[in-house]
Amino acid sequence: LLRVLLGLLPKDAGEIYWNGTVVSDPTTFFVPPYSSYTPQVPHLFSNTLQENILLGLSEEAIDVSAREAAIHTAVLEKDVAELENGLQTMIGTRGIKLSGGQAQRAAVARMLVRDAELLVFDDVSSALDVETEQLLWERLFAGREGTTGAETNREGSAMAGARREGTDRAGARHEG
């Protein structure tokens, strides 16, 4: 479903609607800055944590408060504070110097710094402990009116209990 929504696979049947209008070509419609996608296994690069979060955006193009808000929402602020060089820490090839949960949350911060209308999450909390996962989902949808979230997650995910006041969401369940 997520791949169809993002235009990576053709749809078998039906229509995709956005704000009541049929989306005829998702490959050109659901692209940045309108949408942002984070896979379960994030793509991180051998750069600083900050460069991985900004990924192609200059420091000047991003308001510091927007970057800090993205880091906070991704429940990454304590981790950044504990890193030897904070955001300037080199994280190694594929983010090898980060835990799986830190890598997932860095990728979430990357998507949030762009302030997209559609946030697509592919089991981004699979490597998180229960408390961090619950906090992540609560923060992701707190005060995000006008944002739509589409997510996949494993059985028993804390996402199911997260509050989403004023936020649309889409989802599908697949067992097996």
DSSP state of 170: E
What pLDDT band is residue 158 in, cutting at 50, 70 and 90?
very low
Q: Which CATH architecture has domain 32-171?
A: 3-Layer(aba) Sandwich (3.40)
- Which pair of tokens denotes residue 93? 């090839």
Over the stretch 34-86, which tens digit does the pLDDT of each residue have?
888 888 889 999 999 999 999 988 888 888 999 999 999 999 999 999 999 99
- The residue-averaged pLDDT of 163-170 equals 44
Q: What is the pLDDT of residue 24?
A: 86
Question: Which pLDDT score, from 0 to 100, does residue 163 have?
Answer: 41
Give the pair of three-digit tokens for residue 142.
């707190």
Mean pLDDT of the chain: 83
CB atoms within 10 A of CB 3: 14
Identify the CA nearest to 148 among candidates 59, 43, 17.
17
Task: Residue 14: count other Cβ atoms within 10 Å of its Cβ.
Answer: 7
| 8 three-state secondary structure | coil
Q: Where are the domains of the chain?
A: 1-31, 32-171
- What is the reported pTM? 0.81
Note the pLDDT of residue 176: 40
> Sorting pLDDT into bands at 50, 70 and 90, what band is 95?
very high
Phi and psi for 25 in degrees, rounded to 5?
-135, 90
Token pair 């169809």 is at which residue? 4
Average pLDDT of span 136-147: 81
Helix (H, G, I), strand (E, B) or coil at 166: coil
Residue found under tokens 């955006």: 57
What lies within 8 Å, CB to CB, of 58 at 6+ separation is none
